C-alpha cells in the first residue's frame, strides 16, 4: 500500500458537488492499493497512520501522533498512486489492485482505523472526487508498506 499523508487544518471530499466527508485538524490519507497487498499491509498502514508523530508538542517539535492530539482522518482511495510513469508519457496502472480486491482492503483499513476510536471519514470508492485541503505546515509524507518489510 502506498499512502500520501498530509497533515491538515481541515479537509473535505465531494462527489457530484455533494460533500461526503469532512474533517478538521488531522490527516488526509490518499491510499493506493497494489495487486499484491494483503492484511499485513492494512495493519502496517493503520498502525502508521495512527502513530505517526507529525503533530507539534508544546515545544514546537513534531512529537505527537494523531491519537495524541485527538485528530481526525480523511481516507481517500487513489489507485493512481500505483501509476508507473517510467515508460512513455501515459502512466501504466498494471500494479494497482483490481477494484474488488482494492475495495475489500480499503474497507478493512477504514474499519481498523475506526476501531481505534478516531473519527474517520472517507471518499467514495471508484468515484470522481474533489478533495480540498488546507495543508498544515505544510507537512506531506509518503508511506509504502512494501518498503517496510
Vertex 81: Cα angle to 54 and 20 (nearest 5): 75
Query: How many CA within 13 A on the CB side of residue 52?
Result: 22
Length of the chain: 149
* Active-site annotation holds for 124: no
130-144 and 18-23 strand pairing: unpaired
Q: Is 80 a catalytic residue?
A: yes
Annotated catalytic residue 22: no
Choosing from 78, 106, 112, 122, the catalytic residue is: 78
Angle between helices 39-51 and 99-115 (to 10 degrees): 40
Angle at the Cα of 32 from the Cα atoms of 140 and 17, rounded to 5 degrees? 80
55, 79, 106, 122: which is the annotated catalytic residue?
Answer: 79
What residues are annotated to the active site? 78-80
Amino acid at each position: 500500500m502506498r499512502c500520501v499523508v498530509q497533515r491538515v487544518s481541515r479537509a473535505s471530499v465531494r462527489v457530484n458537488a455533494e460533500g461526503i466527508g469532512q474533517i478538521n485538524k488531522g490527516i488526509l490519507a490518499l491510499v493506493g492499493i497494489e495487486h499484491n497487498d494483503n492484511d499485513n499491509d492494512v495493519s502496517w498502514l493503520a498502525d502508521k497512520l495512527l502513530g505517526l508523530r507529525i503533530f507539534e508538542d508544546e515545544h514546537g517539535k513534531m512529537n505527537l501522533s494523531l491519537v495524541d492530539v485527538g485528530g481526525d482522518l480523511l481516507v481517500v482511495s487513489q489507485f493512481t498512486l500505483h501509476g508507473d510513469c517510467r515508460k512513455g508519457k501515459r502512466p501504466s496502472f498494471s500494479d494497482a489492485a483490481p477494484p474488488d480486491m482494492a475495495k475489500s482492503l480499503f474497507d478493512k483499513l477504514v474499519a481498523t482505523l475506526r476501531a481505534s476510536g478516531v473519527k474517520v471519514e472517507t471518499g467514495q470508492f471508484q468515484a470522481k472526487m474533489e478533495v480540498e485541503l488546507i495543508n498544515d505546515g505544510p507537512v506531506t509524507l509518503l508511506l509504502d508498506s512494501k518498503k517496510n518489510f
